[in-house]
Amino acid sequence: MLSDLPRDMAEEVLSRLPVTSLRGVRSTCRKWNTLSKNRTFTMKHVREAKKKQRKEFQAVMILGNRVSLFSLNLLNPSIGPVGKLISLDNADRVDIYNIFHCHGLLLCITKDRSRIVVWNPYSGQTSRIEPRTSYNILDRYALGHERNNHHYSHKVLRFVDECYPSIREFEIYNSNTNSWKVLHVNPDWDVEFFRRGLSLGGNTYWIAQDKKLVAVQGGDRSFFLLCFDFTTERFGPRLPLPFAPNHRDTLALSSVREKQLAVLCQKCCSYTLTIWISSRIEPNAVSWNKLFLRVDMKPLTGFPFFFGAGCFFVDEKNQVALVLDKDGGTPNPTRNIAYIIGKKGYFKTVDLGESGCWPLGCSYVPS
């Protein structure tokens, strides 16, 4: 029987399985259940997963409020579900509104905004975070970590800052103390509700806008990059973007190899899409010297991407990018579409099925 394999052989075989198969592995027998939770096996499995990422991406996507793991091959366009991840509190019956990834963990926000859960899809462990007072439908969230002596202390940032209705709350949750702490922040900037933050190096970055310049609706000083440092628990200085966007442009952030930041801008007036990759990124500094892609999307799609969608992936080696959106150009878009864009007119689409909400996704590597 397979369960009678020697430990080293079983470890070698099981480490090559996708993370979505671990639920079946653990239910096969007590021996495999113990093996799959062993630290040595975990590290080996993570190394195998990272090797696969060099050939194709793995991404966690929300399609129709359900969370699944997908493999993405952007050069020979194929996007297929690897399978459902290990249950998130009986995930088949939980509608997820938003997800944020950091170091193998997912922060999940339920559709009714009543719960936030930190979820490790690799182990299946979940941790429901109770509010200090209450959650707000307009909350912004971020998942990050503080690193001390190779130990990661995960934290969750929650904030809301609105004029109508008047409300301002900034607080941070520490997984070590299982408690919230109020942060005293009086920002002169605004992170619009639909803008998704991106976790990189344990910190989170947003595209923010100067509150005083919102009235002028754009311009080179209006938009900038903003970082929250989870170690110091402070927002950093305004960091420059490599372009000057307008308030109606589509703007989004992504990561490259979990080391550099990528930023996308599609001009609302010209349909021109550009993607830049940073050469240096830190909480207090950023450098841009690499224009990764510039494409006129008007002859390819005939419509601009939705300004609030904000999900894309970059394959730096093969010089292609993938943007998640709907079947724009139709009166009532319902199909989730992956638009794969490259140089010299390279353009493909993959239909991901139908749902009422916009598709969301983030790259994923277990840890």
Cα→Cα distances 65→13, 96, 109, Å: 33, 5, 10
Rounded Cα distance, 11 and 5, in Å: 9
Q: Which amino acid is at 267?
A: K
The per-residue pLDDT for 25 is 60
Q: Where are the beta strands (DSSP E) in 85-150?
A: 96-102, 105-110, 116-119, 126-129, 140-148
Query: Which overall architecture, per CATH, does domain 56-363 show?
Result: 6 Propeller (2.120)
Rounded Cα distance, 15 and 233, in Å: 37
Rounded Cα distance, 240 and 249, in Å: 17
pLDDT in tens, 148-195: 766 778 999 999 998 877 899 999 999 999 999 999 999 999 998 888
Rounded Cα distance, 117 and 149, in Å: 26
Q: How many residues does the chain have?
A: 367
Answer yes or no: are the C-beta atoms of 363 and 322 closer than 8 Å: no
Q: Which amino acid is at 53?
A: Q
Our CA dihedral for 298, 300, 304, 305, rounded to 10 degrees, sits at -160
Please state, as a whole number, how many other Cβ atoms lie within 10 Å of the Cβ of residue 166: 7
**What is the full per-residue pLDDT of the chain (367 aa) written as tens digits?**
555 666 666 666 565 655 555 655 665 666 666 666 666 666 665 566 555 555 566 788 887 777 777 777 776 666 655 555 544 544 446 788 888 999 888 898 888 888 888 888 776 778 889 999 889 989 999 999 987 766 778 999 999 998 877 899 999 999 999 999 999 999 999 998 888 899 999 999 999 999 876 545 444 458 999 999 999 999 999 999 999 888 888 999 999 888 899 999 998 888 899 999 999 999 999 999 889 999 999 999 888 888 766 689 998 888 899 999 988 777 788 888 889 999 888 999 988 888 877 888 888 776 6
Collapsed DSSP state (helix, strand, coil) of residue 359 = coil
Handedness of CA 282, 288, 289, 295 (dihedral sign): positive
Token pair 């093969």: residue: 318
Map out the domains of the chain as residue ranges: 56-363
> If you write DSSP's letter for every residue of 8-51 in order, what string do you get?
HHHHHHHTTS-GGGHHHHHHH-HHHHHHHTSHHHHHHHHHHHHH
